[in-house]
């Protein structure tokens, strides 16, 4: 289990992490009515800490709230306040290693019924050790018996806490079957994503990934990989993807804040190519690591120093 840091941000102040709690009568507990984002804070040269693509994460949190109809965030929080809160959290916990920070907006109104507008909210953040959720040396995936919740039922591009029961069911099925994670299909059988990461495949030198109409989360790391690939001269194609394309792909990998870039070596008991990390995956993994660490010549604007 990853180490959780002792100080958390709850409401408008820092508290002991164990004291940051919600009443059992609130919408966040009763209905999973919370939205969140997770972002990495990585050690840079000179032992400085920097958050990666922080403004994108703030915007996604804000957009998730708007999509669900939670209106208690945008009026009381702006990006500057968000950054200052993260700096306080980092300072008070004396963080000197790579961590993930989970920022969540909870609807903590008591017994409001099934609605979202005009309700009281509370904002929380906590930091924990940045352990990847997928093996960085080769993950084994199983097509899920559970289908991805479609955007017309629960919006895929909003990170809604309650919606993740879909991911729990699918990943547990994969784990019970001896695999590392699942592959979600949409209602008509096209590939969506993993339980908590986007998916890419390589065929004939081209990088392919399900498009944003395929009931996927519009991942910030997904956007990062697409941009880095294009800058490296790699053709990127966003479109619907059939499951059998994964079976004959030259390479497959997953991407996400908590997954980083995780090579996939097996899908549904079928080895991907030679069962090893492919050259394009390795190249993009290196470019991504450089971006996270501020080691490359580009994209220093993606880093917010704390």
**Phi, then psi, of 108 in degrees rounded to 5:** -110, 20
pLDDT at residue 196, rounded to an integer: 97
Strands 49-52 and 34-43: antiparallel
Q: By residue range, what is the domain housing residue 237?
A: 139-293
Q: Report how far residue 220's alpha carbon sits from residue 19's, in angstroms, rounded to the nearest whole number.
A: 31
Q: Residue 306's beta-bridge partner residues?
A: none
Give yes or no: residues 150 and 271 share one domain: yes
Give, for 56, the enclosing helix (H) or strand (E). helix 54-68
DSSP state of 76: T
Do the domain assignments include residue 227?
Answer: yes
**Residue-level pLDDT, tens digit, the chain, 306 residues:** 889 999 999 998 999 999 999 999 999 999 999 999 999 999 998 889 999 999 999 999 999 999 999 998 888 899 999 999 999 999 999 999 999 999 999 999 999 999 999 999 999 999 999 999 999 999 999 999 999 999 999 999 999 999 999 999 999 999 999 999 999 999 999 999 999 999 999 999 999 999 999 999 999 999 999 999 999 999 999 999 999 999 999 999 999 999 999 999 999 999 999 999 999 999 999 999 999 999 877 899 999 999
CB 165 within 8 A of CB 171: no
Q: Which two tokens stand for residue 173?
A: 């099925």
* Rg (alpha carbons) of the chain, rounded to whole number: 19
pTM, entire model: 0.95
In a domain, 304, yes or no: no
The CATH number of the domain holding residue 233 is: 3.20.10.10
Query: Could you tell me the CA-to-CA distances from 191 to 183, 186, 246, 248 in Å, in that order?
Result: 7, 6, 9, 14
Residue 73 lies in a domain: yes
- Give kind and range of the element (H or E) at residue 224: helix 220-231
Structural domain total, the chain: 2
CA distance 273 to 252: 9
What are the phi and psi torsion angles at 214 (to 5°)?
-100, 30
Position 46 scores a pLDDT of 80
111 and 174 together in one domain? no
pLDDT at 36: 98
Query: Using an 8 Å Cβ cutoff, are 223 and 238 in contact?
Result: no
Q: The domain spanning residue 100 has which CATH number?
A: 3.30.470.10
Domain boundary pick from 75, 103, 129: 129
Give the model's pLDDT for residue 298: 87
Q: Same structural domain for residues 180 and 101?
A: no
* Straight-line distance from the first to the last Cα atom of the chain, in angstroms, rounded to the nearest whole number: 26
């Amino acid at each position: 289990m990853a180490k959780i840091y002792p100080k958390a941000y709850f409401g408008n102040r820092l508290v002991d992490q164990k004291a940051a709690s919600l009443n059992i009568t609130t919408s966040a507990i009763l209905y999973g009515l919370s939205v969140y984002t997770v972002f990495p804070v990585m050690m840079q040269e000179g032992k400085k800490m920097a958050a990666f693509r922080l403004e994108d994460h703030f915007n996604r949190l804000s957009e998730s709230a708007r999509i669900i109809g939670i209106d208690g965030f945008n009026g009381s929080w702006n990006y500057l306040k968000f950054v200052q809160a993260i700096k306080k959290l980092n300072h008070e916990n004396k963080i000197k290693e790579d961590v993930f920070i989970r920022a969540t907006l909870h609807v903590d109104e008591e017994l409001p019924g099934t609605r979202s507008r005009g309700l009281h909210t509370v904002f929380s953040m906590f930091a924990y050790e940045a352990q990847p959720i997928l093996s960085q040396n080769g993950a084994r995936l199983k097509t899920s018996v559970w289908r991805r919740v479609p955007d017309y039922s629960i919006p895929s591009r909003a990170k809604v806490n309650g919606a993740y029961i879909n991911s729990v069911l699918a990943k547990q099925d994969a784990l019970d079957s001896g695999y590392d994670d699942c592959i979600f299909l949409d209602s008509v059988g096209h590939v969506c994503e993993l339980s908590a990461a986007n998916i890419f495949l390589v065929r004939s030198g081209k990088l392919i990934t399900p498009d944003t109409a395929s009931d996927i989360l519009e991942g910030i790391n997904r956007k990062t990989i697409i941009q880095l690939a294009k800058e490296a001269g790699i053709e990127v194609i966003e479109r619907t993807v059939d499951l059998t394309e994964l079976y004959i792909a030259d390479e497959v990998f997953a991407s996400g804040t908590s997954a980083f870039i995780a090579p996939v070596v097996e899908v549904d008991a079928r080895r991907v190519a030679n069962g090893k990390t492919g050259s394009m995956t390795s190249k993009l993994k290196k470019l991504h690591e450089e971006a996270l660490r501020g080691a490359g010549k580009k994209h220093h604007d993606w880093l917010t120093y704390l």
